[in-house]
Amino acid sequence: MRYLLRKLVFYVAALWAALTLNFLIPRLMPGNPVDLMLSKLATKGPVTPTTRAAIQALLGTDTNGSLWSQYGKYLHQLVSGNLGTSIAYFPAPVSQVIGQTLPWTVGLIGLATAISFAFGILLGRAAGWRRGSWIDNLIPVTTMLQSVPYFWLALLLLFLLGSTWPIFPLNGGYDVYSVTPGWNLPFVQSVAYHGALPALTIVVSSVGGWMLGMRNMMVSTLSEDFVLTAEAKGLTPRRIRSRYVARNAVLPSISGFAISLGFVVAGSIVTEAVFSYPGIGSALLLAVSNNDYALMQGVFLIITLAVLGANLLVDLLYGVIDPRTRARS
């Protein structure tokens, strides 16, 4: 119970930090969003003070209250689910834009990461079990793939499999012209077809990390005394591998899985940009290029919340998988 309580306190603190960061960044940064927008408008024609007032009202920066009262108002708006109005998708509210784009990202990134994790763990298990075999020598190759930037690999795959040999579509989440979104077979097929290349990019560039981590933990666990005991008892190598070694070696990878989610989301933003995938990363970039600060903050908040939530889930699960963590705290 104490373990759970500690975890919850930490996540509440992290959530508060994220919310406050989201509130403070626009107010501490040297660039004022209103000035930024006005300077863009001024290149096209004269700007009247009423325009300024209108933009201030739109961005919600027209209140001259103290920082504390603004903070209170901001928190109140968040609790009531009001994230403001998007400029890029005017007049849609930010929450609606996020609601439309989030399923795409969660579907693509979630699936691709799960596949990559499973592959990496299996490969790493094999490499650690038979050290010095051909599969172990694969490690430097996968590390090389891991240091390849996500977006460059995406560009390369797009060039090879999209342009040179047109096997996969060049961009988008589904075929806009021939299928209607909804739970019908053509749409699902189209989504899978369009998602294959982005997913492949993510899997190829992230599988090496899982593999290396698992391999190293396998090697470390193999030299533990309990493995020697298991061998001495005459258990089958298969049983030792999966029940004794792999089961213990996979634990750090699982907690690493939670931490890596933040990086995965970050990488996916750029991947989505390359494939023009209609996910939340594209929404963030559109917000950045249109100076849509409400949408930008909303997207940052949602990404942070998603990563925090996933971390919490893994943390709670970890307590079940590895009883030692509960005992220690």
- What are the φ and ψ backbone dihedral angles of 242, each rounded to 5 degrees? -85, -40
Q: Which residues in 42-81 contact other proteins (CB under 8 A)? A: none
The C-alpha angle with vertex 218 and arms to 217 and 220, in degrees rounded to 5, equals 60
Q: Which residue has the tokens 């942070």?
A: 304
In angstroms, give the least distance from the CB of 188 to other proteins.
Answer: 28
Site string for other proteins, 267-296 (x = CB under 8 A): x-xx--xx---------xx--xx-x----x
Tell me how many residues contact other proteins (CB under 8 A): 61
Question: In whole angstroms, what is the distance from residue 285 CA to residue 292 CA?
Answer: 10
- Nearest to 86, CA basis, from 96, 71, 76: 96
Is 29 near other proteins (CB under 8 A)?
yes
Under the binding rule (CB under 8 A), the answer on residue 251 touching other proteins is no
In the complex with other proteins, the residue whose CB is nearer, 191 or 201, is 201
- Amino acid symbol at 237: P
Shortest reach from residue 313's CB to other proteins, in Å? 12
Stretch that binds other proteins, among 15-23, 95-103, 104-112, 193-201 (CB under 8 A): 15-23
What is the signed CA dihedral for 16, 287, 111, 140, rounded to 10 degrees? -90
From residue 143 to residue 182, what is the string marking binding to other proteins with x (rule CB under 8 A)? Answer: xx-xxxxxxxx-xx-xx---xx------------------
In whole angstroms, what is the distance from residue 215 CA to residue 31 CA?
47
Nearer to other proteins, 23 or 117 (CB): 23
Cβ atoms of residues 300 and 307 within 8 Å = no
Instruction: State the nearest-atom distance from the C-beta of 103 to other proteins, in Å.
Output: 18
**Among all chains, which residue has been given the structure tokens 């909303």?**
298
User: Binding of other proteins at residue 113 (CB under 8 A)?
Assistant: no
Could you tell me if 113 and 253 are in contact, meaning their C-beta atoms sit under 8 angstroms apart?
A: no
Note whether 199 and 108 are within 8 A (CB): yes
Residue placing its CB nearer to other proteins in the complex, 121 or 296: 296
Query: What is the rounded end-to-end Cα distance, in angstroms, of the chain?
Result: 10
Burial of 124: CB neighbours in 10 Å, binned 0-12, 13-18, 19+: buried
Q: Which one of residues 3, 10, 71, 318 is an interface residue with other proteins (CB under 8 A)?
A: 10
Using CB under 8 A, pick the residue from 4, 8, 25, 317 that binds other proteins: 25
Contact pick of 38, 266, 318, 321 for other proteins (by CB under 8 A): 266
Nearest approach in angstroms of CB 81 to other proteins is 21
Sole residue written with tokens 């999966």: 242
Count of CB atoms situated within 10 Å of the CB of 323: 9
Query: What is the binding site for other proteins (CB under 8 A)?
Result: 10, 13-14, 17-18, 21, 25-26, 29-31, 33, 36, 131-132, 136, 140, 143-144, 146-153, 155-156, 158-159, 163-164, 216, 219-220, 223, 259, 262-263, 265-267, 269-270, 273-274, 284-285, 288-289, 291, 296-297, 299-300, 303-304, 307-308, 311
